[in-house]
């Protein structure tokens, strides 16, 4: 079976969503599937890392790559969505599988294109984040629109054969959903010669959906206790960081691993005003290096999810668990004589 893995970005981009899908696709390739990665022409944050084993197709989406406003981001999302529609019409066939992520969220609505042009294809949505949850973190207008968009979003999600939810996103709970607690983790042995500092770390993007108020409260609490606070990353909310926070640009590769290992405390931020969303890349990396995770803005439901993640015996092996979930579903679907519906 050929599996088309559709995501906004892929290698050399270093976004966690890109790495996640590359690892999942390569694990499925090792199981005997023909996997191809389908990306747009834009970029989020390029890093130096090995290329995936699965071939990459670049769509001519003509994204501008500007992320300085919601309008600019949505314009790029729309461009990618148009290019993805054209790809599905031309390249996805009955008997194939499409594994489309929710990055960007417009991909969820591609199910109608799949049903019309490849009615025999297996359709899997990999739900990285859940738009109705993110909207509640924004303005009053967004919050008022969230219940309506939840109805629309859930309607389209129920049409996918399988919705695979990530560990940090547990708000969609329909019968076709499986919560698969996995995310890409650091590869290889951890360095043993990195000195531990009395500094706490936030590493990654700080976007408009993050619960920055909760993050800043935790930063201030530790700072008052004598801890230094480091921020490595970027994002539209970094300008609001307290003055005592030391700001640094992204680091990648070995420098990133050493950075994680040198900080005994890591901040992990949830989605603002919402108890059912978080950003699992930071959580997994922090747990993997043995750091103390300080959840910011987590409500009881997500605190319980964090405890489940703490109990995973081998985080380094979680990508193979993810592939096994997809593999079992595809084999069961084919064995049952899969017939998609419109």
In a domain, 47, yes or no: yes
Closest by Cα among 231, 189, 256, 247 to 47? 256
Same domain flag for 52 and 155: yes
Burial class (CB in 10 A: 0-12, 13-18, 19+), 277: buried
Give the three-state DSSP class for 168: coil
In a domain, 193, yes or no: no
Same domain flag for 292 and 325: no
Tell me which DSSP letter residue 190 carries.
P
Same domain flag for 112 and 166: yes
Same domain flag for 81 and 214: no
Same domain flag for 306 and 325: no
Same domain flag for 166 and 301: no
Q: Report how many domains make up the chain.
A: 2
* pLDDT tens digits in sequence order for the chain, 342 residues long: 999 999 999 999 878 788 889 999 999 999 999 999 999 987 767 777 889 999 999 998 888 766 667 787 888 889 999 999 999 999 999 999 999 999 888 999 999 999 999 999 999 999 887 777 777 667 777 777 778 888 899 999 999 999 998 766 667 888 999 888 777 777 778 898 999 999 999 998 888 778 899 999 999 999 999 999 999 988 888 999 999 999 999 888 889 899 999 999 999 988 777 666 666 777 888 998 999 999 998 888 888 888 888 888 787 777 788 888 899 999 988 888 765 433
**pLDDT score for 341:** 37
Residue indicated by tokens 């970027």 = 234
Pairing between β-strand 97-101 and β-strand 246-248 as defined by DSSP bridges: unpaired
Same domain flag for 229 and 109: no
Q: Quote the domain boundaries for residue 270.
A: 199-311
Same domain flag for 151 and 244: no
Q: Which helix (H) or strand (E) holds 307?
A: helix 300-310
Same domain flag for 146 and 228: no
In a domain, 186, yes or no: no
Cα-Cα end-to-end distance for the chain: 22
Sequence-ordered list of residues with C-beta below 8 angstroms from that of 117, at least 6 positions apart, any chain: 88, 89, 92
In a domain, 11, yes or no: yes
Residue 101, domain CATH: 3.40.50.2000
Tell me which DSSP letter residue 296 carries.
E
Contact by Cβ (8 Å): 316, 285: no
* Biggest distance spanned by C-alpha atoms of the chain: 62
**pLDDT score for 101:** 93
Closest by Cα among 191, 315, 210 to 260? 191
Residue indicated by tokens 């420098």 = 255
In a domain, 340, yes or no: no
Pairing between β-strand 292-296 and β-strand 199-205 as defined by DSSP bridges: unpaired
Same domain flag for 244 and 212: yes
Question: What does the block give as tokens for 222?
Answer: 């530790």
In a domain, 342, yes or no: no
Sequence-ordered list of residues with C-beta below 8 angstroms from that of 233, at least 6 positions apart, any chain: 202, 203, 204, 205, 206, 249, 250
In a domain, 133, yes or no: yes
Q: What pTM was computed for the model? A: 0.80
In a domain, 191, yes or no: no
Tell me which DSSP letter residue 105 carries.
G
Distance, CA of 267 to CA of 274 (rounded, Å): 17
**pLDDT score for 279:** 64
Same domain flag for 293 and 331: no
Contact by Cβ (8 Å): 273, 211: yes
Same domain flag for 133 and 207: no
Distance, CA of 190 to CA of 194 (rounded, Å): 9
Neighbours of 238 (CB within 10 A): 16
Question: What does the block give as tokens for 17?
Answer: 């969503």
For residue 303, cis peptide bond before it (omega within 30 degrees of 0):
no
């Amino acid at each position: 079976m050929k599996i088309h893995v559709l995501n906004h970005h892929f290698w050399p981009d270093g976004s966690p969503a890109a790495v996640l899908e590359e690892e999942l696709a390569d694990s499925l390739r090792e199981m005997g599937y023909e996997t191809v990665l389908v990306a747009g022409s834009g970029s989020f944050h390029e890093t130096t890392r090995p290329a995936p084993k699965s071939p990459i197709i670049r769509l001519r989406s003509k994204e501008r790559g500007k992320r300085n406003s919601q309008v600019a981001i949505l314009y790029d999302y729309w461009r990618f969505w148009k290019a993805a529609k054209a790809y599905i019409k031309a390249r996805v066939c009955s008997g194939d599988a499409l594994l489309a992520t929710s990055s960007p969220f417009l991909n969820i609505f591609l199910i109608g294109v799949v049903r019309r042009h490849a009615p025999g294809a297996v359709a899997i949505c990999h739900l990285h984040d859940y738009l109705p949850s993110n909207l509640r973190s924004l303005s009053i207008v967004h919050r008022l629109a969230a219940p309506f968009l939840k109805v629309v979003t859930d309607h389209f999600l129920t049409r996918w054969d399988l919705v695979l939810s990530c560990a940090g996103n547990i708000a969609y709970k329909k019968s076709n959903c499986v919560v698969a607690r996995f995310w890409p983790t650091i590869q290889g042995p951890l360095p043993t010669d990195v000195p531990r500092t009395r500094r706490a770390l936030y590493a990654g993007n700080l976007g408009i959906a993050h619960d920055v108020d909760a993050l800043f409260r935790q930063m201030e609490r530790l700072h008052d206790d004598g801890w230094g606070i480091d921020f490595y990353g970027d994002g539209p909310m970094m300008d609001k960081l307290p003055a005592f926070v030391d700001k640094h640009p992204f680091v990648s590769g070995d420098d990133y691993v050493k950075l994680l290992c040198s900080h005994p405390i890591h901040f992990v931020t949830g989605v603002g005003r919402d108890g059912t969303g978080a950003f699992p890349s930071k959580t997994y990396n922090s747990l993997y290096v043995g750091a103390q995770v300080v959840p910011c803005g987590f409500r009881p439901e997500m605190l319980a999810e964090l405890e489940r993640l703490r109990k995973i015996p081998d985080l380094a092996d979680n990508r193979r668990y993810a592939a096994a979930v997809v593999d079992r579903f595809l084999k069961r679907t084919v064995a049952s004589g899969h017939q998609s519906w419109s």
